Amino acid sequence: MVNICDTFTRLYGRKPSPSELAQMMRMKAEQDAFKNAAMKPKLGAMGISGPSQERSKIAAAKRHPQGARVIPQRACIINNLLALGLLVDEIAEALYLDEGKIKDDIAKFKLPRRGLKPKR
């Protein structure tokens, strides 16, 4: 291994400053990494290292729970009214909502379903 300080002193006849020393060490590290590809972090298709991708996957799994989706009380009521055979306009009239909100809830929570428990 080459001693960076000695090489600099032989070339320039003085000791290197801290900034010059840092720059030379950075250059030496880049040279070593170029020679030995195993020292470089492995990058995925998006240019992200493997450990970073793993942390992202773990964080994403925590953000989006994979269990059964608990629905709000209004969606549970809509589900029960659909099970009784009421139409969307009748449900909207009974709950004092417009038909768009009822249709949105039906699409969002995939109603009608069986065995729903309302969020309390």
Structural domains of the chain ordered from first start: 1-41 (no CATH), 61-120 (1.10.10.10)
Q: Is 56 exposed, middle or buried, given 0-12, 13-18 or 19+ CB atoms closer than 10 A? A: exposed
Residue type, 15: K
Q: How does residue 31 score in pLDDT terms, banded at 50, 70 and 90? A: confident
Q: Which amino acid is at 89?
A: D
pTM (2 decimals)?
0.44
pLDDT category, 1, cuts 50, 70, 90?
very low
pLDDT tens by residue, 62-85: 876 666 667 888 998 999 999 999
